[in-house]
Each structure stands twice: as C-alpha cells, then as structure tokens.
Amino acid sequence: MNSYAIVVALPFIGAALMPLMKLGGKRAESFFANVIVFATAFFALSLVPTIKEGEVAIVEWIPGLVKFTAFSDGLSVFLTVVAACIGALIALYSTEYMNDEKDLLRYWAMFTLFIGGMIGLALTANLLMLYVFWEVVGLTSYALIGYYYSDPKAARAGMKAFLTTRLGDVGLLVGILALYFSMEPHTFNFLEIADAIAAGEIPGTVLAIAAFGMLLGAMGKSAQAPLHVWLADAMEAPTTISALIHAATMVNAGVYLMARTYPIFHTVPGWAEAVLLVGAITAFLTATLALVEPDFKRVLAYSTVSQLGYMFAAVGAGSIFAAKFHLINHAIFKALLFLCAGAVIHHLGGIRNMYEMGGGVGRQMKFTGTCYLIGTLCLAGIPIFNGFWSKDMVIGAALESGNILGTVLLVLAAVLTVVYSFRAYYLVFCGTSDKHLHDPGLAMKIPLGLLAIGAVTSWLGVGFYSTKMQESGLAVHAMSVGELLHHTVTSVALLLSLGAVALGLLIYWSVKDSGKALEKASPSLANILKAGYGIESIYLTVFYGTREIGKSILSAIDEYVLERGINRGLASLSLSAGKAGKVMHPGDVSYNVVGIITGMLLVLIVMFLAV
C-alpha cells in the first residue's frame, strides 16, 4: 500500500477506531486523534516528491475489485498537504482548547472524518468518488457545526449549512451526470472525460450544463454569493472547527473544483467570466458586511468568504496559480486568526461580541495579540506579509483578463479588508482592560507560533509551488522569489494594491470603528449591511412562501381528491350500488323464480348458438 492509499485511508480508519478510545478517557481519545492526524500530515508531505505531469496513482483497496484512482499533480497534492498539515496544528491546539468538553469522542471522530473527506476529494480522479467525498465533507461539517446540538442556534446553524450547500450539490451532481451520460462508454474517469472534451466528442450544450452545474456546486461549498448565507452562522461551532472549515478543508473544495475543471471548461461561453464575477462580487459584498459586524468570529467568517472570492476571481481570470498561491497563504493566516480568536474567547468565557470584550486584550495576552496582529497584516495585504503577494497576483490576473468590473470590485474589496481587519484588532486588542487574562498553554501556543512564522514566510515558497505546478503540466510559469519581486514591482497591479492599502489605512485611522461611523453617518445603510442586504430574508420568504403553497396544494389534494373523491366517492358509489341491488332484489319469491328461469333460458340459448 503506497502513500496515496495511506493518506486517504488513515483518517477514515482513525474515525472508525475512535470509539475504542473511550475506554482510555479523554486523554486517550485526544492522543489517538493527534497520532492519526499527524501521521496523515506526514504521508501527505511524502506525496510532494511524487508530483508528476498528467499521471495518476492507481490504488487497489481490494485487489481485483475496488480501485482508487488518485491525481498525482500539484493541484491535488498541495491541497492535500494544506488540509492535513493545517488540520494537524488545529488538532494539537484542540487538545487544550477542547479539554473541558464532555463528548470529545464525537468531536474527534468527526474531526478526522472531515479531514479524510477533504483529502479524498482532493486526490480522486473519479467524479463519482469526488461526489461521495464531497458529501462526506458536507455531512461531517453539519455534525461539527452543530456540535453543541443542545443549543438551538448551533443546531439550526448546522442544518442551515447542510441545506444551503445541498442546493449547490444538486448542481454538481447534474454536472457530473451530464458528463457521464455523454461519454461512450460511460465513465466517471476525469482524464478520459478531459480527453473526450479535447477531441470535441461532447456536445457544447452538455458541456455548458456540466460547467455551470459544477460552478453552482462550488459556490455552495465555498460560500460564494448568493449561497454565502450559511458560513457566518457556522460560527456556532467550536472555534477549532471554524478554523478547520475556513482554513484547511471545506470552503477550499469549491476553489479546487473550479481550478481542476478550468482546463476543460474555460472555452464554454461565459463560464470563465461568470466564475470571475461571482468571486469579485462576493469579495466586495462580504467585505462590506464585515464593516459593521460586532461578532468577532463572524468578522473572520465574512473575511473568509471575501478571500475565497479572490480565489474564484483568479480562476476565472485564467490564473490557477494565483488562486492556489492565495489559497495556501490564506489557509495559514486564517487558521492563525481563528485560533487566536479562540484563545481570546476561551479566556473571556465565551464572549464574542467585540464591544462586550472591553478591549485591552493585547496588553495581557501579548503572545496571542502579537500573533493576531501578524494575521491581520496578512489579511489586510500589507507588503512583505504573505497575503500581499498573492492578493496582488490575483488583482493583476483580473486586470490582465480585461474584466474592468471584476478588477474594480476586487480593489474596492481590498480597501474594505484593511478597514475591517484593523477595526477588529483595535476593538479587541487595543486599549486597557481590568480583566485578568493570560496567554494559553503550550499546546495552543505551538500552533500559533508556527502559523505566525508561516504567515510571514510562506510566500518565499513561490518558486517551489510554481515549479511543482508546472511539472504537473498545468499552464503555470515557474518563477523564483526574485522574479516574483520583479514582476510585482513592475506591474500596474502594484499601484492598485498599494493604493488600496493606503486608502484603507487612511479610512481606518480616520474612523477606527467603521461600524459606529456608518451608524452615525448613514443609519439606513448600516441597517442594510447588518441585515446582509436582505438576501437571507429573501430566501426565508421564498422558503416559507413555497412551504405555504405546498401546504395549500396538499390540503386541496387531501380535501378534494382523498376525502371527497376517494373516501366519500367510494362510499357514495357503494350506496348507489346497494340501492340498485335493492331494486333488483325486492325479496318477493315470485321475482326470484322469474329471475332464475330467465337466467337458465339465457344459458340454454348461448349453448344452442355455440353448437
């Protein structure tokens, strides 16, 4: 069994064996889960040297019966490494953060299964298996978001995430089946389908249905507008799960799907433009929502959706590498931000409202505050930090694509990102506090420290990432750090990026708290933003309206078809038949004799005619 088999199977084996750890208590459960996740990370890293162009690894789960076909290119392997390694750091952090929780067995089982589903999704070269792993990720996210199921908010958030992403999943399934039935012979093998598309064997209409169906699926999983409404409510999950969803697993799935299918769908009229605009609109729209959000975790949630929008825009602009580069950088600094937020919320007894936190946390939790500041600098796209390089690359790709609207929205989103990022840092970490707080223990500090280092240095791996992506046969130009610096400094996008940062900092220094400033300047606009532009209200209106229409139809069927048509109709028919029979059988013997004789005569006549 090779590394591909192990890295996919290990999390599932761990989840299956997790109930046995209950015998050893919480420590045994946490230790076993960490062993599984760190071993998965080790084998994921071992895949990097195996990256090859256009090749797949064939894994026989059951010799001669069950095979698993895995991509061995940079697109799949790097996503696997992100899911496994970030997941491992979050697992270590969880040993301290979740220590006081009662039902850790359920937490760890779903945690490992979640990572396994994401790795399987990233590696499989079979569209049917991709859909299976896609649903594993969806199911486990539902269980983890609703981890505190006794809390109605958490239970509702889990169900909301499950139902909203199902809308997208329908599109994905339609897209997969459209490709499957267009192939002769039928196949789910991605490489065979790609070859058929390249040879022009699949009709354009089918290709369009598949392309836009998969776009819908990606929008649901990566919470792109208008299917973004579930992700902010998903903050009811433990903060470790928020970090796992936002940095390492679920929301990256949609970006991966778009990057994976770009080579086969980019010629479909309007598809690439749609991907770019969906991303750009989402990046801007959710950045505006973060400006007024008082909940610490929800601000980070909106920032995730916005940054995913940048990745979608990069794919739509034709720069798969820019999308992948930003995905890697974002995974690092977003995990850092969420885990820092978790440490603060944990020590404040669960308070998430930034105005209720009282500020001044940075003075007492200095290590956590420093790490969060590093994450903020990355998210805001401040030069030198990793978010700057990849975000600039995305804006440059959008500019080169010629899509002016998309480029403008991305630049405006960059301005707003600076404002809401520093607003959150200011409200939580700046000022003074009379609370007695302290930094977390070693199990939580180690992941924070490693992620902080990664947030500062991950962009230096651009040469390694791009070379491996190029070796995969993808249309990626391998560039060194020197080339990145030269390209960035000489590009028009740099002026846009630096201008966005400068304007964002100017707005922040002018108002500090954009939420309060908007409430004073334009209460109506602030209320619109707090209501999320009414998008969720529209969904609820449609949902409840559809439900009421359904109730009316069912009521009509019950009343007129079942009750009046069948129940009363059959009763009336039986009564009428009985009355008719009563006329024919009045009970007089002479009538009965006449009836018998008449019947006998008819029988004799028939027999005579037959002869």
pLDDT of res. 226: 93
Q: What are the tokens at 340?
A: 């820092």
Q: How far apart are CA 121 and CA 127, in angstroms?
A: 9
Exposure b/e, 581-595, CB count within 10 A at least 16 = b:
eeeeeeeeeeeeeee
Cα–Cα–Cα angle for 599, 603, 604, nearest 5°? 115
Bigger pLDDT: 134 vs 546: 134
DSSP 19: G
Task: Give the tens place of pLDDT for each residue, 325-349.
Answer: 999 999 999 999 999 999 999 999 8
Does pLDDT of 66 surpass 70? no
Average pLDDT over residues 539-554: 77
Question: Can you name the residues that pair with 57 across neighbouring β-strands?
Answer: 70
Q: How far apart are CA 595 and CA 584, in angstroms?
A: 10
Contacts of 535 (CB under 8 A, 6+ apart): 225, 226, 229
pLDDT confidence tier of residue 556, bands split at 50, 70 and 90: confident
Pairing of strands 56-62, 66-71: antiparallel
| Residue 496: closest CA among 393, 377, 423 | 393
Amino acid at 200: G
The half-sphere exposure of 477 on its side-chain side, counting CA atoms within 13 A, is 10
Does pLDDT of 450 surpass 70? yes
Q: What are phi and psi of 385, to 5 degrees?
A: -75, 155
Q: What are phi and psi of 294, to 5 degrees?
A: -85, -20
Q: Is-contact 286 218, C-beta < 8 A?
A: no
Task: Give the tens place of pLDDT for each residue, 232-258.
Answer: 999 999 999 999 999 888 899 999 999
Task: Give the tens place of pLDDT for each residue, 251-305.
Answer: 999 999 999 999 999 999 999 999 999 999 999 999 999 999 999 999 999 999 9
Does pLDDT of 611 surpass 60? no
Query: pTM here?
Result: 0.89
Helix/strand/coil (H, E, C) string of 433-459? CCCCCCCCCHHHHHHHHHHHHHHHHHH
Does pLDDT of 356 surpass 80? yes
Q: How far apart are CA 447 and CA 243, in angstroms?
A: 12
Q: What is the domain partition of the chain in residue ranges?
A: 3-530, 538-610
| Residue 248: closest CA among 41, 546, 501 | 41
pLDDT confidence tier of residue 60, bands split at 50, 70 and 90: low
pLDDT confidence tier of residue 606, bands split at 50, 70 and 90: confident
Q: How far apart are CA 379 and CA 387, in angstroms?
A: 6
Contacts of 179 (CB under 8 A, 6+ apart): 127, 193, 202, 206, 210
Surface-to-core class of residue 436, CB atoms within 10 Å of its CB (0-12 exposed, 13-18 middle, 19+ buried): exposed
Does pLDDT of 63 surpass 60? no
Distance of CA 563 to the CA centre of its chain: 46
